[in-house]
Structure 1
Amino acid sequence: MLTTPARILRSRRLTRGLLVSGFLSLLSLPTIAQDSAASAPAGFAECKARLQEQAIAAGVSSETASEVMARAEHLERVIELDRRQPEFTTTFADYLNRRVNDARISQGRELLKEHQELLARVTRETGVPAPYLLAFWGLETNFGSYFGKMPVPSSLTTLACDPRRSTFFTQQLIAALRIIDEGAIPADQMEGSWAGAMGHVQFMPTVFLQHAVDADGDGRRDLWNSLPDAMMSAGKFLQSMNWNGDYRWGREVLLPDNFDYSLADGRRLPLEQWREMGVTDAFGNPLAREPIDAALVVPAGHQGPAFLAYDNFRVIMGWNRSEFYAIAVGHLADRIAGAGMLQNPPPEDAPAMSRDNIISLQEALLERGYDVGKPDGIMGPATRSAIRQFQAANGLIADGYPGETVLTRLDVLVIQ
Structure 2
Amino acid sequence: MPRLQWFQYLSYALTVSAVLLFSSAQAQEKADPAFEQWVKEFRKTALKSGISAEVYDQAFRGITSPDQWVLDRASYQPEFKAPVWQYFDNRVQKRAIERGQQEKEKMKPWLDKIEKRFGVEPNILLAIWSVESSFGGILGNDQVMRSVVRSLATLAYADPQRKKFGRQQLLAALKILQAGDVEGKHLLGSWAGAMGHTQFIPTSYQAYAVDIDGDGKRDIWNSIPDALATAANLLSSNGWQKGKPWGYEVSIPARKLPAGKMTVAEWEKLGVKRANGESFPSKKAVAEIKLPAGRNGPAFLVFKNFFVLKRYNNSDRYAIAIGLLADRIGGATPLVNDWQRPFTPLNSVQVEELQKLLKQKGFYTGDIDGKAGPGTRKAVKEFEKRAGIEVKGYPSKEILELLKKQ
Shift of 1:216: 1.3
Given residue 234 of structure 2, which amino acid in structure 1 is its aligned partner? F
The whole-number CA distance in structure 2 between the counterparts of 1:63 and 1:19 is 12
Amino acid in the other structure paired with 1:60: I
Aligned position for 1:7: none
Q: What residue in structure 2 maps to residue 384 of structure 1?
A: none
1:71 to 1:304, Cα distance in 2 relative to 1, 3 A:
same
Conservation of the 8 A alpha-carbon contact between 2:209 and 2:218:
yes
Give me the TM-score of the superposition, normalised by structure 2.
0.75
> What residue number does 1:308 align with?
301
Contact 2:18 2:184 (C-alpha < 8 Å) held by counterparts: no
Pairwise CA RMSD of aligned residues?
A: 2.7
Corresponding residue number in structure 1 for 2:157? 161
What residue is the counterpart of 1:366 in the other structure?
none
Structure 1 residues 213 and 161, CA, compared in 2 at 3 Å: closer, same or farther?
same
- Runs of 5+ consecutive residues of structure 2 not aligned to the other structure: 1-7, 344-391, 394-406
Structure 1, residues 313-365: CA drift from partner, whole Å, max 9, x if none?
11111111221111110000001111111111111129xxxxxxxxxxxxxxx
Q: Residue 120 of structure 2 is aligned with which of 125, 128, 136?
A: 128
Larger Rg, first or second structure (1 or 2): 1
Secondary structure in 1 matching 2:250: strand
The answer to whether 1:149 aligns with 2:142 is: no
Aligned to 2:232: 235
The range that moved more, 17-26 or 273-282, is 17-26
Tell me what 2:212 maps to: 215
User: Secondary structure, in 3 states, of the residue corresponding to 2:180?
Assistant: coil
Q: 1:173 pairs with 142, 148, 170, which one?
A: 170
Unaligned runs of 5+ in 1: 1-11, 351-414
Counterpart pick for 1:60 among 32, 35, 51: 51
Secondary structure at the aligned position of 1:274 is classed as helix
Q: Who is 2:98 aligned against?
A: 106
Contact kept? 2:287, 2:301, Cα under 8 Å: yes
Specify the SS of the correspondent of 2:310.
helix
Q: Deviations over 1:200-235 (max 9, x none)?
A: 011001100111111111111111001111011000
- Per the TM alignment, residue 246 of structure 1 is displaced from its structure 2 partner at its CA by 3.3
User: What amino acid maps onto 2:31 in structure 1?
Assistant: S
Give the % identical residues: 35
Contact 1:153–1:187, Cα closer than 8 Å, also in 2:
no
- SS of equivalent residue, structure 2 residue 311: helix
Mapping of residues 195-344 of structure 1, within 5 Å: 195-256=192-253, 258-261=254-257, 263=258, 265=259, 267-344=260-337
Deviation at 1:111, TM superposition (A): 0.6
Using the alignment, how far apart are the partners of 1:344 and 1:33 within structure 2? Answer: 49
CA contact (8 A) 2:26 2:63 kept: no
Structure 1 counterpart SS, 2:239: coil
Q: Distance in 1 between matches of 2:227 and 2:335?
A: 30
Q: Distance in 2 between matches of 1:25 and 1:172?
A: 23
CA distance in structure 2 between the aligned counterparts of 1:186 and 1:170, rounded to whole angstroms: 21
2: CA distance, partners of 1:240 / 1:310: 17
